[in-house]
Every structure is written in structure tokens, then in C-alpha cells.
A and B are shown apart, each in its own frame.
Chain A
Amino acid sequence: MVTPKAAPTLLKPTRSVGIVGYGAYVPRYRLAAKEVARVWTGGKGGLPIKEKAVPGLDEDVITMSIEAARNAMARARIDPTELRAVWVGSESHPYAVKPTSTLVAEAIGAVPNTQAADWQFACKAGTEAVVAAMGLVGSGMGNYAMAIGMDTAQGKPGDALEYTAGAGGAAFILGPAEESLAVINASYSYVTDTPDFWRRPEAKYPEHGMRFTGEPAYFKHITEAATHLMDASGTSAKDYQWAVFHQPNTKFPQKVAKQLGFSTKQINPGLLVPVIGNTYAGAALIGLTGILDEARAGDRVLMVSFGSGAGSDAFDILITDKLEARRDLAPKTLDYIRRRTEIDYATYVRYRGKLQMK
């Protein structure tokens, strides 16, 4: 028996909650990392991923969130007017001032008797909305709450981030545990003031601390969050069939998984960054949808996000026997990943609005 040394710090509602619906979205276009290298380094140097997803000219975080939300609603099979919250986490909200969430709520028919808000915390804006939704449902304030993590990430031309800054994300509907496809046993959040990555209000592209984004930021926060959650839950890596970590590139999640004792097999279904890029606020959450598309009743899943600035939210999730009958009610994450049209760098420049037109 492991002594639950961090037990008082767990974020665990008094009423048990879980995921009653989930849905992913990935846009159609792909930019190969080797195409970025062709333009900026003469094709030299290592590549952090194979390719990243690029949104079309008519897509943004609002349109992508609407589609993921519709997929989540299809699986949850609830009436949209039963949602008491629609929350969208992103670092690429289309407006600086005017909520993404009200438009998403309007499009899925959840208005007007609902909470709506936009969340912001670099790459963990989506999972913090999930934690808040656990609180809303877990306290009995409402029966259902939607939390979305979605991004059309920005990368400065030629910067290391341009290889990976992708687009996509996922929507989750939290509800009572007894109706859930997966029960969230507990969550744990670990945050410090760590300046590894930021974007000032008027800046188009973010800045980052190069290698400082690794050890003191990504690795420190994820390992602390995962370790505290597992210690407090009396579990270790072998108790989980699957794990998903925030994935800014292919190497980081593989390395942190190994540090925490997880195998390649445990992280593979949720490791999507090689083929869609870093989807920022959507990254850990869309990885979880990849796992939910395959997991079986009784499987246990560890999810740990990371957001620069910095912090991690960790979740201990148990799959129920309701998942299997629901997962085919909406497109699977792999359906979106397989739907792909490769574009060249010039098309990417046009699609991402990098040309000065006036």
C-alpha cells in the first residue's frame, strides 16, 4: 500500500464525474517538415516531426471548435440545451476581444441558458477548462459542461517552431460518472512562474527560451504533475494501459514517458504530433481522443498536459463499458488524420496569412 502523500492536493470533486462525449478535429492540409527545411536550411538538419496540419483559408479556432463540439454532441447523445457551460481554451482565439465560446455555443444550439468563456494558458488552456468542467459538474451546479482545447498555432517563419506549429484539437463533454464513457478518478495541477514561451499582446508570433523550454519547463512540470497524481492515487506506470503527454515535438513526449516508466506501446495511440504537429491547447486532448478511439472497458489512462508559463494538469481516467457503443457515432481521429492534402511552403504562406497584402 502506497501512502497517499499528496492526497490533500488532488483536485477531485465530491460527486464523481467523467467524459460523456468526445470529438476531435484536424484540418485537411499538411505541410511536411522537410518542406520547411527545404526553404530555410537547404534541407539540412534533423526534423522534429513528419508533417503538421494546416487550417484552410476559411478555418479558425471557432470553426474547428464547432466541428469538434458537434462530434462530441453526437457521441454524448444529449440535448445541447442541457449544457451548462461551453468553454474554449486556445492561444489563437480569432478575436482579441469577443468570445469564441458564445459563437460555438450558438452554432451547436446551447444558447442562451449556459455559461460561456474563453480560456488562455498557452498549451494547457484546454485541460484547465476540463478541470473547471469537472468542478462545475462535480459540485452539482450543472449536469453537463463542454470543454474544448483548439489551436491554429503560430510559428515565426524560419523559427524552430514553424516545423511543428500545427492545427487541431478536441471537445469533451463532462457529465455524471454513471453516464460516462470514461470516469475521471482525479486530477492534479502543478504550476510555477516559468518564462519558457510567451507572446506579447501586439506580437504576431511567440518568443521562446530555446533549450530553457525543456528541462525547467516541459520536463519538470509534467514529471511533477504525473508523479504527484500517481503517488496520491497509489498507482504507477504499470497500472495504466495508455498514457498521453503534451507533445510539442516527437522527442519530448517519448523522453518524458520513459522517465516516468511508460513504454512506447502505452503512448503510441495518443502520440499524434508526428503526423499533425503540435496542436498546442489541443495537443494532449486530441491525443486522448486517439486513445478513446481504441481503448477497452477497464483500461486506465494517464493524461498530462503542459502549458508554458508554466503548468501541467494530470488526469487519472478509467474507461467504462459505455465507450465501445458510442465511439462510432462520430468520425474517429484517424479519419481526420488520413484525410490529407499535402501543400508546399508557398501555399502554406498564403493559407496562414503570412503575405503582406497592403
Chain B
Amino acid sequence: MEIPRHWRLKKQRYALVGEVCPHCEKKIFPPRDICPNCGNEARDLFAFSGKGEVYSYTTIYEAPSGYDSTTPYTVALVKLDEGPIVTAQLTDQGEQPTEIGMPVEMVTRKMRDDGDERGMIVYGYKFRPVLKN
């Protein structure tokens, strides 16, 4: 069980809360102590819009432990409108094929159980095709 880790990461996982660097204004995700762009201290929280596009992707058939109940699923590098690229599962595609450049939006979904079905449920961000422009 990793309760403290899940608890610590909840804001970024539930709502894509990252940071904006007060020195160079670069948007940062995931949040960290030092801005990767200018090397100064970065501490100001910034909620991303959740809009972006698929930069690259792959489909997982043999999933790591804990994720095997939802195979097959697609994992994408999503380039957020504000700049950063995040790795996340795609969801709710129906018959829509994944394409590079496809506009997507963030949704908060169930990721897995921590341990077995008696453990806490871990929630986090995934992306789906944009419902409405």
C-alpha cells in the first residue's frame, strides 16, 4: 500500500494542478521545486485547462500489475495547450481510432485499486477525444 504517496499527489492527479514559474512564466507539469526552464525556484500553483493533443501513443495489451483489468488500453504523450507533455491513458474512444494530433481533454477516472479490491481506489487524469469544442 502506498497511501501517503497517493495522498501527496492528489491535486496534480485529480485536476492537473501544476506550477507556473514566477521568474520565466513557464508552465510546469508535474510540479517540482526548481523550474526546468530557468533553474529558479518554482512554487506558484497553476491549474491546467486539460486541453491538448496526442503527440504520440502506443497500445498496451500486456499491462503492468494493477492495470490488467482494463486491457487493451492506449497510453499517449499528450501535449497540453500550455506547453508540457504528459503521459496518460486515453479513454472513452469508442470506435474512434487514435491519431497523432487528435484533440483531447482531461477527465478524472479510476486508475486502479491499490493492492486488491479491498484497497483504496486510485483516481487520476486520463484524456478522451474532445466532447465539445
If over half of A's interface residues share one DSSP class (helix, strand or loop), that class is named, otherwise mixed; here it is loop
Pick the contact of B110 from A63, A98, A340, A357 — CB < 8 Å?
Answer: A63
Question: A-B pairs with CB below 8 Å: how many?
Answer: 57
A67 within 8 A of B: yes
Interface size class of B (residues with CB under 8 A): 20 to 34
User: Which of the 9-residue segments B22-30, B35-43, B91-99 touches chain A?
Assistant: B91-99
Provide the residues of chain A in CB contact with B123, threshold 8 Å.
62-63, 103, 107
B79 within 8 A of A: no
Provide the residues of chain A in CB contact with B92, threshold 8 Å.
27-28, 56
Interface size class of A (residues with CB under 8 A): 20 to 34
- A50-63: contact bitstring with B at CB < 8 Å (1 yes, 0 no)? 00000011111011
Provide the residues of chain B in CB contact with A103, threshold 8 Å.
14, 123
Bound: A67/B92 CA distance, A: 14
Contact A108 B91 (CB under 8 A): no
If over half of B's interface residues share one DSSP class (helix, strand or loop), that class is named, otherwise mixed; here it is mixed
**Whole-angstrom distance from the CB of B24 to the nearest CB of chain A?**
25
Q: Contacts A106-B10, A108-B15 hold; do A57 and B70 have CB atoms under 8 A apart?
A: yes
Contact A335 B131 (CB under 8 A): yes
- A223-240: contact bitstring with B at CB < 8 Å (1 yes, 0 no)? 000000000000000000
Interface residues in B111-126 (C-beta closer than 8 Å to A):
111, 120-121, 123, 126
Residues of B near any A CB (own CB < 8 A): 10-11, 14-15, 47, 69-70, 89, 91-92, 94-95, 107-111, 120-121, 123, 126, 131-132
Residues of A near any B CB (own CB < 8 A): 27-28, 56-60, 62-63, 66-67, 94-95, 98, 103, 106-109, 331, 335-336, 339-341, 357
